[in-house]
Structure 1
Amino acid sequence: MNYYISDLHLFHEASIRFDNRPFGSLEEMHEAVVSRWNNKVNNGDTVYILGDMSMRGKKEDLISLVATLKGKKILVKGNHDDVSDYRYKQLFYDICDYREIHDSYGGKNYDLVLCHYPIFSWKGMNRGTILLYGHTHNSAEDVYFQKCLAGMEENDCRHVGDKPIQAYNVCCMKPWIDYEPRSLKEIIENYQNIK
């Protein structure tokens, strides 16, 4: 099974206040993240972390915490990811800036573009390729990005026969993610139920 999540910002105390996260301390946030992650993910699963796993990659505590997270972890680097510490780097199956993959659910196959940053125009977007991204948290920037994509749909900026544009923010604080790695099915269905 593939799972997706971004912007955990482990060991970044200001993220609790900045994102209005429902935790009283970093310890409480870390405990919730580890518990939700490990109750869901098996070691045979792959978790794509779309950036900003933490603020730094050199702290002993961070290395210890990330080592406890189950699954094959693939880090799509964000602006806060420091992977210069070899010990930290070894906790990930792969580290990249951008990834194109395939996933499926409900008997259908999907092409995905994975990037930390929202992309205004991505490969295959008019053919049904789904963009999963992070970075923008619960910001006005994310609202504007989604409005731009909706405007493209509404103003016939696409060609006849093009498929609907799909881009999902997988930041951990989004209600359809709720601090837990999510499958593509969960992301799409939870997003549609909340919106």
Structure 2
Amino acid sequence: MNYYISDLHLFHEAAIRFDDRPFRDLEEMHTEIVKRWNEKVNNGDTVYILGDVSMRGKNEDLIALAAILKGKKILIRGNHDDVSDLRYRQLFSEVCDYKEIWDSIAGKSYELVLCHYPIFSWKHMSRGTILLYGHTHNSPEDDYFQKCLAGMKDNDCRHIGDSAIQAYNVGCMKPWIDYEPRSLQEILKES
């Protein structure tokens, strides 16, 4: 099973206030994220983390915390990810800035573009390719991005085909993510 999540911001106390996260402090946030993650993900599953695991990767506590998260972890690097510490980098099966993959739901295949940042135009977007991204949290910037995508379809842009434009923010603070990795089926159903 593949799962997706972004913007955990572990060890980033300001993220609790910034996102209005439902946690008293970092300890409660970390405990809840690890609990939800490990109750859902098995070691045979793949979790695509679309950036910003924490503020920085050179932290003994961060390495210990990330090490107990189950599954094969692939990091699509975000603006706050520092993987210069080899011990931390080795916790991920792969670290990259952008990735194209296929996932399936009930036998139907979906092409996905994975990036930490929202992209205004992505490969095969007019043929139904789905963009999963993070970075913008619950912000006017994210609302504006979604309005722009809707406007492209409404204004009959030349490179938009018959397929619906699909881009989903998989930030952990989004209600359809709710601080746990989600499958593509869950993301498409809930968002």
Classify the TM-score, shorter chain: over 0.9
Q: 1:190, 1:36 → 2: CA distance?
A: 17
Instruction: Give per-residue Cα distances to partners, 1:56-77, cap 9 Å, x unaligned.
Output: 1011000000000000000000
Q: 2:139, 2:7 → 1: CA distance?
A: 13
Aligned residues: 191
Aligned residue number for residue 189 of structure 2: 189
Unaligned runs of 5+ in 2: none
In the alignment, is the contact (CA less than 8 A) between 1:126 and 1:158 conserved in 2? no
Q: TM-score, normalised by structure 1?
A: 0.96
In the alignment, is the contact (CA less than 8 A) between 1:152 and 1:158 conserved in 2? no
One-letter code aligned to 1:129: T
Aligned residue number for residue 55 of structure 1: 55
Alignment of 1:112-123 (within 5 A): 112-123=112-123
Q: 1:117, 1:84 → 2: CA distance?
A: 21
One-letter code aligned to 1:52: D
One-letter code aligned to 1:26: L
Offset at residue 106 of structure 1 (A): 2.6
Q: 1:83, 1:177 → 2: CA distance?
A: 25
Q: 2:163, 2:68 → 1: CA distance?
A: 40
Offset at residue 162 of structure 1 (A): 2.6
In the alignment, is the contact (CA less than 8 A) between 2:99 and 2:115 conserved in 1? yes
Alignment of 1:13-162 (within 5 A): 13-158=13-158, 161-162=161-162
One-letter code aligned to 2:118: P
Offset at residue 159 of structure 1 (A): 5.6
Instruction: Give per-residue Cα distances to partners, 1:21-53, cap 9 Å, x unaligned.
Output: 000000000000000000000000000000000
160 and 78 in structure 1: CA distance in 2 versus 1, 3 angstrom threshold: closer
In the alignment, is the contact (CA less than 8 A) between 2:126 and 2:160 conserved in 1? no
Identity %: 78
Offset at residue 107 of structure 1 (A): 2.3
One-letter code aligned to 1:99: K
Unaligned runs of 5+ in 1: none
160 and 38 in structure 1: CA distance in 2 versus 1, 3 angstrom threshold: closer
One-letter code aligned to 2:94: D
Q: 1:161, 1:128 → 2: CA distance?
A: 9
User: What is the DSSP-based 3-state SS (H/G/I as helix, E as strand, rest coil) of the residue aligned with 1:3?
Assistant: strand
Q: 2:49, 2:174 → 1: CA distance?
A: 15
